[in-house]
Amino acid sequence: MIFLSSYGWRTNVNIKDIKDRILNGEYEFRKHALERASSRGINPFEIKEALLEGEIIESYPDDPRGSSCLIYGKSRKGKNLHIVCGLAHNIVWIITAYEPSEKEWINYRRRRE
């Protein structure tokens, strides 16, 4: 297991930093993100669109692999997406993406209990 914090993974992540880096092309998809997104019918352009208009809905500062966050956003075609990402060496690392289930989420922003 690789602990990304030892490779410059930031301990705090904010949406402005993420959006700025996406706009500047300073982002990369983890292999897992591309594989899972493809299997779920989500393309990288939709992920980028959702990140650019998204909001952080959960933070994971204590993740042993490095601080990350869950972003909720919509693609231009209105597809609701959740994207887990983090920031290391001034690059946004896109870890995974999926379409949230209304059964598990309230307004796609809060987990149901």
* Separation of alpha carbons 23 and 49, rounded Å: 10
Q: CB–CB of 15/54 below 8 Å? A: yes
Residue 17: its H or E element: helix 15-23
Q: Confidence class of residue 4 from pLDDT cuts 50, 70 and 90?
A: very low
What residue has token string 């997406």?
A: 81
Return the axis-axis angle of helices 44-53 and 31-39, rounded to nearest 10°: 100
Q: For 15-34, write each residue's pLDDT tens digit.
A: 999 999 999 999 999 999 99
Domain 18-105 has CATH 3.30.2310: yes
* Separation of alpha carbons 56 and 110, rounded Å: 11
* Separation of alpha carbons 24 and 29, rounded Å: 15
Given a cut of 90, whether residue 36 has pLDDT beyond it is: yes
> Model's pTM, two decimal places?
0.86
Average pLDDT across the chain, whole number: 89
